[in-house]
Structure 1
Amino acid sequence: MLGNISDPDVRATIDAAARLSAPGATVVWTRTRREPDLTPAVRGWFRDAGFADRG
């Protein structure tokens, strides 16, 4: 879901997912771990948006 969009669009997509998801919803996302590895930031953005990290 997040592998082929710009970093600002990743953040906007996460924010939108939070508004569109029911409480307790699960979001499955993918992103490459190659440099620059944005996955730590993405995980934080999901936490900031109210999602629990289950990784």
Structure 2
Amino acid sequence: MDKKYGLGEFAKSLGCRAVYDEPMKCHTSFKTGGGADVFITADSAANLS
């Protein structure tokens, strides 16, 4: 398994969301940035600790 998919699956097992090859321009105020191999977000504050 590729490292990025392994990381994404691990994040999902912790209750987070993982998106592969996500353009960072969707998440910055200046709409710049390349693609992230894995973009992980927490669905709740509890998932941050």
Q: If the TM-score is normalised by the length of the shorter chain, which range does it land in?
A: 0.3 to 0.5
Structure in which a larger fraction of residues adopt strand: 2
Task: Tell me which structure has the larger Cα radius of gyration.
Answer: 2
Give the alignment's TM-score, normalised by structure 2.
0.32
Greater RCO (CA < 8 Å, at least 6 residues apart)? 1
